[in-house]
A and B are shown apart, each in its own frame.
Chain A
């Protein structure tokens, strides 16, 4: 347990994802230890970057002046962001584990946590773009990263979860379906909360 997959966490899995997937296929790690030794720290990055960026520059939605928010609103957004990411990671790993039965993949929950974190890691690191909170800059940096992450998802499932590539492709597509729905839910829920007056003041 001491070596193997754990030696890839935190950073090595970022630049050697495929070796990390191969290592992962050999072990059955504990979900708790994956979360605390790996996932949690990466999930902290985007909220911290966005907090620093928005406090210094304000969010640029596109039109003239940046939106400067008060400290309370900023902290509320950042804490909310962290919990949303954590919720996303945990639910995706659990759903992935649940789907595994259908696609003949490994049902070790720890592996699913590690797999989803390895896939999400490039996005967590690319969130450094939040330091300059201009929507366009973020979109331009995060979209190529998103494509890379999706590539890792499609390639990683068959390796890490011991399933043929074709079944892995189907499972990855089902997970993409879930992730798209989760993303749009997040948009919808945020919008609904804002318009109902719950949540941060946008400085407007």
Chain B
């Protein structure tokens, strides 16, 4: 499949995963823009079930998280684990199987969501046949990743690999435990957990998917690509290790903050709230580590458009990891829960942090993978401005909408009756949703520019053959 010697990194697979990731980014964001328009003009579903908000919304989230996000994580994990282990990928054929197998799951899974197959568990909507396939592929991902580390030629295991490793292990655990179910037909199963227990397990999964996939996995990306970009070692390696263990220990408790004021014991809610607030410390330790690393490498900004994305992603990471703990406090949550504030929070993470760091990383990797300059630095700079504007507008629109909703929902008149009906409040949201639609379109336009830019950079090129460098004997295995 790939003509590489034993001493050359497997980079063709990395390029292919980047291409799929960009494809899913465009598809997922298009779906997002479409459903945001449906919230303004509900008739846009044209009476078709498969075009309805309820079916397109999980397509949007799954497409972005599992299509765009996971493909990008696989690409960057494969790229960096080879280079930090000084060895080509372990079991490259299995890696190719993962690459294509994952895309088939995302494609067919997406179609199954459109057909109405749905477990009704948020971010775990795919039905049992897909869950089994995901488990098989995820374990294969672990075999390739940990196999590469096991055969490494260099003794230390670099910090980015700890984060990618945690991503693989924890997501496997969460996915398998949360999706244990009794199949009834090919398209329907029932969770083995009942009632409030099901909810606790689901949010243990849901929040830690955010934690270990959208945070931990992408932190792996930061820890490898930021120092590479900046051509500086990480500001404090010790801080990164402390932050890793604090992060891994604390995150796992935070899930039930999604269930405040619900029928789960109050101590469970309080514990989740306290752990969520504690989580701020390791999150900000990483942010400071990143900002300080790049602050000494400012000359690089003159020549490297991608570094800007990474700098800004850290600012949004700081925002999202501050906002999250704050929203987990019960007296804030009573206003913010079930409002668009939550949607704004998710997107300050998803657009400002995940997408920006991935874009910055792709702009860094793609020219190096094919050994040529980026097609257009100017387009990348325009993309940066669009991404920043789109994200900010999105967040501000959702803050305004969310706070309005929260206050209006809590309003009661002198007789103790609700002052406003749900329908009236939703009807008054149109202007904010229009702003959000504009924000989404701006962000999507930037993504289109990047797609074109990366396509032109890759066009007609082959992966450069990179030979494994010699290991300094002081660090050899």
Chain A residues proximal to chain B, CB less than 8 Å? 61-64, 102-103, 135-136, 139, 143, 146-147, 164, 166-167, 169-170, 173-174, 176-177, 180-181, 184-185, 187-188, 191-192, 194-196, 202, 204
Q: Which of the residues B413, B419, B429 comes within 8 Å of A62, measured between beta carbons?
A: B429
Interface SS, B side: helix
Q: Are B326 and A62 in contact (CB under 8 A)?
A: no
Q: Which of the residues A143, A167, A177, A202 comes within 8 Å of B411, measured between beta carbons?
A: A202
Interface status of B144 (Cβ within 8 A of chain A): no
Besides A143-B396, A164-B298, 16 more A-B contacts (Cβ < 8 Å) are A63-B404, A139-B397, A166-B302, A167-B295, A169-B311, A170-B291, A174-B315, A180-B316, A181-B319, A184-B319, A185-B326, A188-B327, A188-B329, A191-B332, A192-B329, A195-B410
Can you report 29 residue pairs joining A to B where beta carbons are below 8 Å apart? A61-B408, A61-B428, A62-B425, A62-B429, A139-B396, A143-B393, A146-B396, A166-B301, A169-B298, A169-B311, A170-B294, A170-B298, A170-B301, A174-B291, A176-B315, A177-B287, A177-B314, A177-B315, A177-B316, A180-B348, A185-B322, A187-B341, A188-B327, A191-B332, A191-B334, A191-B335, A195-B410, A204-B412, A204-B413
Chain B residues with CB under 8 A of A191:
331-332, 334-336, 403, 406
Q: CA A169 – CA B299 in complex, angstroms?
A: 11
Look across to chain A and name the residue whose beta carbon is closest to the beta carbon of B395: A180
Q: Are B295 and A102 in contact (CB under 8 A)?
A: yes
Q: CA A143 – CA B428 in complex, angstroms?
A: 20
Q: Are A204 and B311 in contact (CB under 8 A)?
A: no
Look across to chain A and name the residue whose beta carbon is closest to the beta carbon of B323: A184
Q: Are B404 and A195 in contact (CB under 8 A)?
A: no
Q: CA A147 – CA B396 in complex, angstroms?
A: 12
Q: What is the distance, in angstroms, from B321's C-beta to the closest C-beta of chain A?
A: 10
Q: Are A63 and B413 in contact (CB under 8 A)?
A: no
- B401-452 contacts to A, CB under 8 A, are 403-404, 406-408, 410-413, 419-420, 424-425, 428-429, 431-432, 435
- B304-344 contacts to A, CB under 8 A, are 308, 311-312, 314-316, 318-319, 322-323, 326-327, 329, 331-332, 334-336, 341
Q: CA A196 – CA B397 in complex, angstroms?
A: 26
Q: Are A103 and B295 in contact (CB under 8 A)?
A: yes
Q: How many A-B residue pairs have CB under 8 A?
A: 123
Q: Which of the residues B334, B429, B431 comes within 8 Å of A195, measured between beta carbons?
A: B334
Chain A residues with CB under 8 A of B403:
187, 191
Q: What is the distance, in angstroms, from B276's C-beta to the closest C-beta of chain A?
A: 13
Chain B residues with CB under 8 A of A187:
341, 399, 403
Q: Are B326 and A139 in contact (CB under 8 A)?
A: no
Q: What is the distance, in angstroms, from A59's C-beta to the closest C-beta of chain B?
A: 10
Interface status of B400 (Cβ within 8 A of chain A): yes
Chain A residues with CB under 8 A of B408:
61-63
Interface status of B389 (Cβ within 8 A of chain A): yes
Interface size on B, residues (CB 8 A): 54
Q: Are A177 and B301 in contact (CB under 8 A)?
A: no
Q: What is the distance, in angstroms, from A183's C-beta to the closest C-beta of chain B?
A: 8
Q: CA A64 – CA B318 in complex, angstroms?
A: 37
Q: What is the distance, in angstroms, from A157's C-beta to the closest C-beta of chain B?
A: 12
Q: CA A194 – CA B407 in complex, angstroms?
A: 9
Contacts known (A139-B400, A185-B322); A170 close to B327, Cβ less than 8 A:
no
Chain B residues with CB under 8 A of A103:
295, 298
Q: CA A167 – CA B300 in complex, angstroms?
A: 10
Q: Are B319 and A177 in contact (CB under 8 A)?
A: yes
Contacts known (A63-B425, A191-B403, A192-B329); A167 close to B298, Cβ less than 8 A:
yes
Q: Are B406 and A135 in contact (CB under 8 A)?
A: no
Q: What is the distance, in angstroms, from A187's C-beta to the closest C-beta of chain B?
A: 6
Q: Which of the residues B407, B410, B431 comes within 8 Å of A136, measured between beta carbons?
A: B431
Q: What is the distance, in angstroms, from A197's C-beta to the closest C-beta of chain B?
A: 10
Best-buried of B323, B404, B407 by chain A (most CB within 10 Å)? B407
Q: CA A174 – CA B308 in complex, angstroms?
A: 12
Chain A residues with CB under 8 A of B336:
191
Q: What is the distance, in angstroms, from B220's C-beta to the closest C-beta of chain A?
A: 21
Chain B residues with CB under 8 A of A185:
322, 326
Q: Which of the residues A135, A174, A176 comes within 8 Å of B404, measured between beta carbons?
A: A135
Contacts known (A143-B393, A195-B335); A170 close to B311, Cβ less than 8 A:
yes
- B265-311 contacts to A, CB under 8 A, are 287, 291-292, 294-295, 298-299, 301-302, 308, 311
Chain B residues with CB under 8 A of A196:
331
Q: Are B298 and A62 in contact (CB under 8 A)?
A: no
Chain B residues with CB under 8 A of A63:
404, 408, 420, 424-425, 428
Chain A residues with CB under 8 A of B318:
177, 180-181
